[in-house]
Amino acid sequence: MYVHEKFQLEVIMENRLDGMTNVLRRAAFWEELEVLAIKGNEAGTSLTVVLMDLDNFKTFNDSQGHAMGDELIKRFADILRSNCRTDDLLGRYGGEKFIIAMPDTLPEEALLMMEDVRQQVSSKTYTFEVADRRIEHRFTFSGGIAAFPKDGKDPRAVVRSADAALYRAKKNGRDRLALAIKTRMILKSNYYPKAQLDKLAELAEKSQKTDAFLLREALDDVLAKYLDRKNGTPPIEKDDQEI
């Protein structure tokens, strides 16, 4: 009886897990996501979904071959798995697309966590081996982030919002993350005057970008203006020179 039950469990797990990456298949992920949404709704907590896609994967797959493309997908899955927390849910959404559900997590928190992963991936060169072939390759990914119930009335609507945010991240240059349009980074009114926040919200709406994206862009401009890019020291302004 024990052997039979163990076999049944193995069959069930095989049906739930993706054979290549050993993460949840899409159908199994949907089932678990529905459960997490119910729990989050009962507890009054935010459930955040991150939908990710490898950048320029088709070009790599066509030029290096499907076997090498499979190795890239598996490596990406391993990186995501190693960065998931205990309660996070990781699934393969299809092809080179992956999805993570983060219980009791605000979208802004998910953005910060996944930004660390994005930087980790984009800053490294990875080695891939298939048979007697060995290549060095750098790759990036883009991601869209949305939360339940803020960005959708049900889990599927939230994933659609994340997918729309992913599309925007791709459109804006790839190798970046985007929050769903309805989601806004939490801004402290005591840090920013209301007039500035109102103008920022208006600009975000017109440009179809998030507050977070615009603030990061502004911060990059400030750093470029006041820091010497070569050594990280502030340049000497004309008015600041000793007389």
pLDDT score, position 4: 41
pLDDT score, position 226: 72
Whole-angstrom distance, CA of residue 34 vs CA of residue 154: 8
Catalytic residue among 5, 96, 202, 205: 96
Local mean pLDDT, 10-residue blocks, the chain (243 residues): 43 76 97 96 96 98 97 98 97 97 96 96 96 96 96 95 96 94 55 72 77 75 67 48 34
pLDDT score, position 13: 54
pLDDT score, position 229: 53
pLDDT score, position 191: 54
**Looking at the domain covering 2-181, what would its CATH class be?**
alpha beta
Whole-angstrom distance, CA of residue 170 vs CA of residue 12: 36
CA angle 35, 37, 32 (to 5 degrees): 35
pTM tops 0.85, yes or no: no
pLDDT score, position 206: 81
Cα radius of gyration (the chain): 21
User: Could you tell me how far CA 14 lies from the centroid of its own chain?
Assistant: 26
Catalytic-residue membership of 109? no
User: Count of H helices and E strands in the chain?
Assistant: 8, 7
Whole-angstrom distance, CA of residue 220 vs CA of residue 200: 16
User: Could you tell me how far CA 120 lies from the centroid of its own chain?
Assistant: 12
CA-closest candidate to residue 78, choices 21, 28, 134 = 21
